[in-house]
Amino acid sequence: MEHLKKDQMIHIERSESGALLLKLSGPWTLKEGLYPVSEVEAALESNSGVKALSFDAKDVSDWDSGFVIFLREIARLCSQKNVAIDDAGLPEGVRKLFRLATAVPVADTHDDPMASSLLTRIGDISIRLTKTWSDSQAFIGEAFLSFLRLLRGKARFRRTDLWTLIEEAGVQALPIVTLINFLVGIILAFVGAIQLQAFGAEIYVADLVAIAVVREMGPMMTAIIVAGRSGAAYAAHISTMVVNEEVDALKTMGISPMDFLVTPRLLALTLMMPLLALYADFVGMLGGAVISQSMLNVSFSLYYTQTIAALNPIHFLLGLIKAVIYGGLVALAGCMTGMQSGRSAAAVGAATTRAVVNAIVLIIVASAVTTIIYTLFGL
């Protein structure tokens, strides 16, 4: 069975052992055009029971990437029909490129995700969730052990890295933290003013803004900002190191990646989050004061007096506790997704996205849980 396309030629034979042999000759280049694989597919269909396919390319006069593309399509067909491929008859250069091209399976974009049964999809999701939960527990356990080594002074990381991370997570975040929390204070005051004006109780806008910002919105909005800045940066940095095999290099040198990469980031963000949240509280209350003076004719001095009367140290303490928890969760989410990243550019992007999403979800869940606990204890 032969097919001629310009100077390209292919002859398909079946050996006594049942294997197919593809004898190739002529130039196999993109200039000559891509050879269709329909003939090979037909041969595989007509020869039932074929378990192997080999090549004889000693008569191939010239080749380029077009030849590798043809072979890659042959490999796809053989994979679908469970036919083994013997590439020993290919030129050495082609063989290397062919093995490289088939090293990672290419996802078929035409597959229908609904083709599998409901039970199969439920099983796949359950397996992924179980693996994710197991990996998360293992990472948290390793992070805890690394923290214990830090307390004993045995954690190995560069102190200059810690100060750099503190600066990045703290000082460099102040502009965006200022803007967002100032606007949050304005929004809270504006919404409260509209409702309280109906009762002639405009002065209580100060109470509303102060308590809402200090206990909830200040720490939460700051944590979300930090998740988008520092959490994403941690995931991108560590996942890039995974791709470049720098994490493997640390292990080879006997340095724990948890100590060298995760612990300083966890420590930096946990230390800086309460300070950022405290700063955000005052900025948010300042935003409320601006609205109170412009819309309600409440002076700054009166607003300040009412705010001091509404707040007590316990409100600040409860907000700062939340900030510490948020900081730890953001750092853990960013570092964990980075350490569990794949080894490709796409995996780096996916890890960065997951870090931000996971951090925000954890922040919301932690906020709900801590609020419930505060309510149960009457705080």
80, 208: one domain: no
Portion of the chain with pLDDT greater than 70, in percent: 92
C-beta separation of 73 from 35 below 8 A: no
322, 197: one domain: yes
220, 158: one domain: yes
Domain count for the chain, please give it: 2
Residue 222 has pLDDT above 50, yes or no: yes
Q: What span, in angstroms and rounded, lies between the C-alpha atoms of 291 and 277? A: 21
Residue 301 has pLDDT above 50, yes or no: yes
**CATH number, residue 13:** 3.30.750.24
Would you say residue 166 lies in a domain? yes
Q: What pLDDT shows up at residue 7?
A: 58
C-beta separation of 43 from 71 below 8 A: no
Q: What span, in angstroms and rounded, lies between the C-alpha atoms of 322 and 223? A: 10
Report pTM.
Answer: 0.68
Would you say residue 218 lies in a domain? yes
Q: Name the residue range of residue 97's domain.
A: 2-101
Tell me, what DSSP letter sits at residue 54? E
360, 272: one domain: yes
Question: Which residues lie closer than 8 Å to 138 by C-beta, 6 or more apart?
Answer: none
Would you say residue 326 lies in a domain? yes
- Which of 52, 76, 101 is at the close of a domain? 101
Residue 3 has pLDDT above 50, yes or no: no
Per-residue pLDDT of 143-179, as tens digits, reads: 888 888 888 888 787 888 888 888 888 888 899 999 9
Give the torsion through C-alpha atoms of 336, 246, 157, 142, to 10 deg. Answer: 30
C-beta separation of 356 from 247 below 8 A: no
Q: What pLDDT shows up at residue 110?
A: 46
Residue 300 has pLDDT above 50, yes or no: yes
Q: What pLDDT shows up at residue 273?
A: 92
Q: What pLDDT shows up at residue 1?
A: 43
Per-residue pLDDT of 236-248, as tens digits, reads: 999 998 888 888 8
C-beta separation of 234 from 264 below 8 A: no
Q: How large is the average pLDDT for residues 331-340?
A: 90
- Which of 42, 75, 101 is at the close of a domain? 101
Would you say residue 116 lies in a domain? no
- Which of 57, 80, 101 is at the close of a domain? 101
Would you say residue 121 lies in a domain? no
82, 155: one domain: no
DSSP per residue, 89-140: TS-HHHHHHHHHHTSSPPP-TT--TTSS-HHHHHHHHHHHHHHHHHHHHHHH
Q: What pLDDT shows up at residue 227?
A: 92
Beta bridge partners of 285: none
189, 67: one domain: no
Q: How many CB atoms lie within 10 A of CB 28?
A: 28
343, 202: one domain: yes
Residue 27 has pLDDT above 50, yes or no: yes
262, 350: one domain: yes
Residue 310's pLDDT band (cuts 50, 70, 90): confident
Least confident of 55-64, 126-135, 208-217: 55-64
96, 145: one domain: no
Per-residue pLDDT of 229-284, as tens digits, reads: 888 999 999 999 888 888 888 888 888 888 888 889 999 999 999 999 999 999 99
C-beta separation of 88 from 54 below 8 A: yes
235, 345: one domain: yes
